[in-house]
Amino acid sequence: MAKTASQIFGELTFNKKVMKEKLSKEVYAKLVATVESGEPLDETIASDVAHAMKEWAIENGATHFTHWFQPQRGGTAEKHDAFLSYGKDGEMIERFSAKQLIQSEPDASSFPSGGIRSTFEARGYTAWDPTSSAFLLEAGDTKTLVIPTVYLSWTGEVLDLKTPLLRSMKALTDSAIKLQRLLGNNSVKKMKVYGGPEQEYFLVSKELFDSRPDLRITGRTLFGAAPAKGQQLEDHYFGAIKDKVMMFMEDFDTELYRHGIPSKTRHNEVSPNQFEIAPLYEEVNLAIDHNLQLMEIIRRVADKHGMVAILYEKPFAGVNGSGKHFNWSMGDENGTNYLEPSDSPNKNINFLLTLGAILLGVHKFGGLLRAAVADAGNDHRLGANEAPPAIMSVYLGEYLSGLMDEIEGIGNKVNEKSLAHINLGVKNLPKVAKDTSDRNRTSPVAFTGNKFEFRAVGSSQNCSEAATTLNLIVAYGYDEIAKRLSAKKGGNVKENAILVMKDVLKETKKVRFEGNNYSEAWHKEAAKRGLPNAKNTPDALDLMLVKDNAELYEKYGVLSKRELHSKVEIKLDTYVKIKDVELKAGLNIAKTLVLPAVLDQISVLGNAVKVTAKTSAMAADLKAASSLYAGIKDAIKGLEKAIAVCEKEENLEKKAKLYAKNGAEALNELRASVDLAETMVADGFWPMAKYQELLTIL
């Protein structure tokens, strides 16, 4: 009999079950305390843990280990070392020491640092993150022990995306506990942040994928005429899953379960050949590590099924792109979710103040949220009709929004009666919100019953930056509320909290929006409200360096000024390189594949005109094809000129903005000519798989 999901779940992870078997009770208790309670790691147990990890890994066929980290270039990185070492008498033995577990020193010279270190200063250090489970990486019969880590320069400065996330979690914990003490809660010692990234992706035939150099090189189609049948019939979303895809999904889920990744939901998405997988929610650090693993696993499993999984945000023009809706909530170690309405008045005060903290954060630092999801891929998606706009606003839902309006409208005093009325409204919320608050799919930050869903994250992105920013702005919100609450002398603390909330709601009203975020009317209204609307990555990154935004990172110890400038420089440099590759790939495809195909068409038409007596229609076709050829040649010259202008600029920020404007416009002009050619050139001459094939082959 095949094993059930629960039987195989976590079989490739160094989980609690394995720890109990391999570690003494004392060592196990200390390690679990670090993982679950946030207590500092007791380094005296590191040797025992390292030995247990090695024994477990070797028993399961592993020959190597690696420190696995998240460089700022995107994706993950790893360097494999064998367990082999010399014994006392020179014989070969398997060894994995505490030092090897806790710290490693990969060569940092080729990783982006944004000027933090020079190329000749190659030292970078990875350090074990015990809060994320070690696991086994499989490649055929080969297995490797993988240890999640942070990654720092030899001076201790950030070179990765995990370190700022962990720092932001500490900042949020400190701010939340400070507010809890003011509210009279002295028992809470640790906050827990939860995350759940819903992953959208496309599947295409590997054979057809290989015929598209633009897909292979850049991850998206640079050219492609609209198919006769795209998504206009709306027949794919939640449609019956085809057998070929179902078999892939079953294998995919199996691999996720083996890695301890709690895959819960799978379904067809809106676009043809587009799908989504959603997990059960976990503590955010683990959830993000699991999503990064998921993105590697999906590619391997798709390849086994003769398909390619595409995680690029907008691989096909004219149909919906892919995002990664990031669900975020927080609570304490006692199991209380601060975004879960409750029968308890005390918990509902937390619920309301947490909403207030989020509103304050988005109100003041909405630009940072936009910057957190800025990259070349997401620029094609944000602001389109399948994705949230680049304007950051908060959707609360009709019922909760009405309740907020009631609080905002109360007088200067709150008594037991009004407090009871507010509490009753919150208590009723679960009956309504979970059914109705998810109606607005256009909002970038939407309350969905007991969590917020940040819908602007791109499908290929690491959610660490989104989570870091959410943690950071909520920490600010909590501190601002605590400051205002402390300033109110006398009175009941709960009544004072409602009065603070009243003021918060008034001043943050401009970031609350319940309507259609795609509408032109909202864009005009948002401009009146003074909300930032960065259209592309270079403009969005400008927002990170605005004085208040930059100071926020430093104030909470998440990024120093130097680290923040480094991050922005890395993001700009990456953007420039991605756009440069896209422009040059488009140029090459147009010259070496498209123009020859048009010439073949011209040749056939020219020969036909020579031999037929009725030449008028064919002559017109020949003239149109010749004109098309000339148009493509002109567009190629325009793109070459744009590339030269971009490359000539030495200032990185200006260069990025040139690529975003001049480069994008020139490529779009070439695309228009090439896409027209696709509709006029015979199928036998066209050198690449067309959209209709790519989007219907499954």
Confidence of residue 10 (pLDDT cuts 50, 70, 90): very high
| Domain total of the chain | 3
* Confidence (pLDDT) at 491: 79
Q: Which residues contact 489 (CB under 8 A, 6 or more apart)?
A: none
The answer to the question of residue 301 being in a domain is: no
Determine the Cα–Cα distance for residues 531 and 545; give it in Å rounded to an integer.
17
Last residue of a domain, one of 524, 559, 594: 559
The answer to the question of residue 360 being in a domain is: yes
What would the mean pLDDT of 105-117 be, rounded to a whole number? 66
pTM > 0.85? yes
Q: Are residues 108 and 181 in the same domain?
A: no
Q: Are residues 477 and 607 in the same domain?
A: no
* DSSP H stretches of helix in 317-344: none
The answer to the question of residue 638 being in a domain is: yes
The answer to the question of residue 302 being in a domain is: no
pLDDT digits (tens, 9 = 90+) for 128-158: 999 999 999 998 889 999 999 999 887 778 8
The answer to the question of residue 645 being in a domain is: yes
Last residue of a domain, one of 143, 160, 177: 160
Last residue of a domain, one of 491, 526, 559: 559
Q: Are residues 491 and 637 in the same domain?
A: no
What would the mean pLDDT of 225-242 be, rounded to a whole number? 83
Q: Are residues 455 and 520 in the same domain?
A: yes
Q: Give Cα 169 distance to the centre of its chain.
A: 18
Q: Are residues 544 and 686 in the same domain?
A: no
What would the mean pLDDT of 573-598 be, rounded to a whole number? 97
The answer to the question of residue 529 being in a domain is: yes
pLDDT digits (tens, 9 = 90+) for 62-71: 999 999 999 9
Residue 506 burial (C-beta neighbours within 10 Å; 0-12, 13-18, 19+): exposed
Residue 260 pLDDT more than 80?
A: yes
Q: Which two tokens stand for residue 427?
A: 């208590």
Q: Are residues 500 and 359 in the same domain?
A: yes
Q: Are residues 61 and 156 in the same domain?
A: yes
CATH assignment of the domain containing 154: 3.10.20.70
Residue 407 burial (C-beta neighbours within 10 Å; 0-12, 13-18, 19+): buried
Confidence of residue 614 (pLDDT cuts 50, 70, 90): low
Q: Are residues 176 and 127 in the same domain?
A: no
Residue 679 pLDDT more than 50?
A: yes
Domain that holds residue 48: 5-160
**Axis crossing angle, helix 493-507 with helix 398-408, rounded to the nearest 10:** 110
Determine the Cα–Cα distance for residues 587 and 18; give it in Å rounded to an integer.
54
Number of helices (H), then strands (E), belonging to the chain: the values are 25, 18
CATH assignment of the domain containing 674: 1.20.120.1560
What would the mean pLDDT of 362-382 be, rounded to a whole number? 93
Q: Are residues 649 and 537 in the same domain?
A: no
Q: Are residues 360 and 467 in the same domain?
A: yes
The answer to the question of residue 268 being in a domain is: no
Q: Are residues 156 and 169 in the same domain?
A: no
The answer to the question of residue 263 being in a domain is: no
* Confidence (pLDDT) at 612: 66
Determine the Cα–Cα distance for residues 568 and 372; give it in Å rounded to an integer.
11
What would the mean pLDDT of 519-545 be, rounded to a whole number? 92
Q: Are residues 635 and 651 in the same domain?
A: yes
Residue 386 pLDDT more than 80?
A: no
Q: Which residues contact 357 (CB under 8 A, 6 or more apart)?
A: 474, 476, 477, 478, 480, 481
